[in-house]
Chain A
Amino acid sequence: MLHKFIFDGTRIVLDVHSGAVHEVDELAWELLENYGQVTEAELIEGTRGRFDPVDVAETLKEIKELEQSGLLFSPDPYQGKYTPSNEIVTKALCLHLAHSCNLGCRYCFAGQGRFGGEDQLMPLETGRAAIDFLIERSANRKHLEIDFFGGEPLLNFEVLKELVYYGVQRAGERGKVFKFTVTTNALLLNREVSQFLNEHEINVVLSLDGRQKVHDRMRPFPGGAGSYEIVTSRIKSFVDSRHNRNYIIRGTYTRHNLDFSNDVLHMADLGFKHLSVEPVVAPEEAPYAIRREDLPAVLAQYEQLTRELLRRREAGEPLDFFHFNIDLEGGPACRKGLRGAERVMNTWPLRPMEICIPATSL
């Protein structure tokens, strides 16, 4: 199976099952369109008068060689039948440290952090039990993940600290390695918190939507005032404190900023190097929800972003845009892709009062 596409005049062919990527000329592009579906004579006949027969023969030879090498038209290793493993292993927990928030984001899928309930903070004992649960259910997996989430998890910073200490201690006892991540709106990222997160090498996802008018429209304080100024100030200090490493700025784009490539570039211009933006998750009737008719504009933004990222890279100012990170050599194996859906079931979010639900609802 081939996936072919053209970007700014460059013809690119992905051989889906091998993962091989090829850049092809116009003749190869045309021959690949019908290769294997018609006879070779018909393929050659189809190019008559438009391409040099010598070139046609050369190209067909190249296609055949790549096919024999398993880099073109490679077979589906699962032949359309993949059976998921029955092994149930838990290797990640998403701990809702706080069902409470100090912002009032208009698109919040968590009901301003409370998930439809009361303001709650996760008790330390619940968190400790969660860590024990994860270790017990992790079988022989060594690398385990704890994601501190909310609401705003830093509203429960003391518990977060204790859970990191506890997790590191328990991991050491059981030969495991914990990777911690905290997702925060950055409001509480003061010097003490930053220092702790840095000392314990905790990955941080920082919420910022881009330009001030875009950010403030959807991420105000509960009283309605914009949060951009303080959030960008906090993030700058924090990012500086960890030498611009081990963080991702994460923005949400909506129907209100369908020119979101400008938000990515705005954040880059603020000095942030590791960026991501994602479409809002919203009920269809929400005015900020992205509609089907918006898709051409959305797709065009990714192309626009690609051009600008290439330009900056060539200018020696590379940006790390999370969603474009693909390791073509050692990256997504076929089985990993298939197991992605299984993996969702390997992650459990734990709410403050010990309610376990599968992560698919997040």
Chain B
Amino acid sequence: MGKHIKTVNKTRLSNENKRGCGECQTSCQSACKTSCTVGNQLCAREQSN
């Protein structure tokens, strides 16, 4: 942790070069998923690991 820069997380999304498993919840522009976006869901694969 630096003195001038504090890193909050250490995600490295750009290291992912494989395709996803496709099990993400679908997003929708309507109220049926209260506009679920890819941001606010947990990864099912990571949860099960």
Listed in ascending order, the chain A residues whose CB lies under 8 Å from chain B are 13, 17-25, 27-28, 55, 58-59, 62-63, 65-66, 70-71, 74-77, 85, 89, 91-92, 94, 140-143, 145, 147, 149, 179, 181, 183, 205, 207, 248, 250, 276, 278, 322-337, 339-340, 343-344, 346-347, 349, 359-360, 362
- Nearest to B26 among chain A residues (CB) is A92
Asked if B5 and A147 sit within 8 Å, CB to CB, the answer is no
Q: By CB atoms of chain B within 10 A, which of A70, A322, A336, A337 has the most?
A: A336
Residues in B with CB closer than 8 Å to A359 are: 28-30
User: Interface majority SS on A: helix, strand, loop or mixed?
Assistant: mixed
Cross-chain contact B29 with A362 (CB below 8 angstroms): yes
Residues of chain B at interface, number, CB under 8 A = 40
Residue pair A70, B15 in contact (C-beta under 8 Å) = yes
- Distance in angstroms from B21 CB to nearest chain A CB is 9
Show 21 residue pairs from A and B whose CB-CB distance is below 8 angstroms, ordered by the A residue. Answer: A20-B8, A20-B10, A20-B11, A21-B8, A23-B5, A25-B5, A65-B2, A89-B22, A91-B22, A94-B32, A141-B22, A141-B23, A143-B25, A183-B32, A205-B32, A331-B42, A332-B39, A334-B14, A336-B20, A337-B39, A347-B26
Q: Which of A335, A339, A346, A349 contacts B16 (CB 8 A)?
A: A335
Interface bits B6-49 vs A (CB < 8 Å: 1, else 0): 11111111111101101111111111111101111011101000
Main secondary structure of the interface of B (DSSP, over half): loop
> Are B9 and A20 in touch, CB under 8 angstroms?
yes
Say whether B3 contacts A62, CB under 8 Å: yes
How far apart are the CA atoms of A4 and B27 in the complex, in Å?
Answer: 27
Residues of B within 8 A of A (CB): 2-17, 19-20, 22-35, 37-40, 42-44, 46
Asked whether B30 lies within 8 Å of A362 as measured between CB atoms, the reply is yes
Minimum CB–CB distance for B14 against chain A, Å: 4
B-chain residues with CB within 8 Å of residue A91 when the two chains form the complex: 22, 26
Cβ contact within 8 Å between B28 and A362: yes
- Which residues of the other chain, B, contact A349 by a CB distance below 8 angstroms? 30
Nearest CB to that of A28 among chain B residues? B4
Given A332-B13, A333-B13, 6 additional A-B pairs, CB 8 A? A18-B14, A20-B9, A326-B39, A327-B43, A328-B9, A346-B26
Q: Contacting A328 at CB < 8 Å: which of B11, B27, B29, B38?
A: B11
What residue in chain A is nearest B31 (Cβ atoms)? A183
Give the residues in chain B near A327, CB-CB below 8 Å. Answer: 40, 42-43
Which residues of the partner chain B approach A207 to less than 8 Å between Cβ atoms? 31
Complex contacts, A334 vs chain B, CB 8 Å: 13-14, 16
Establish whether residues A335 and B5, one from each chain, have CB atoms under 8 Å apart when the complex forms.
no
> Which residue of chain A has its CB nearest to the CB of B24?
A336
Question: A39–B16 Cα gap in the complex (Å)?
Answer: 31
Residues of A within 8 Å of B14, CB to CB, are 17-19, 70, 74-77, 334
In the complex, residue of chain B having the shortest beta-carbon distance to the beta carbon of A326 = B39
Q: Quick check: A58 and B4 within 8 Å, CB to CB?
A: yes
CA–CA, A328 to B42, complex, Å?
10
CA distance A243 to B43 in the complex (A): 25
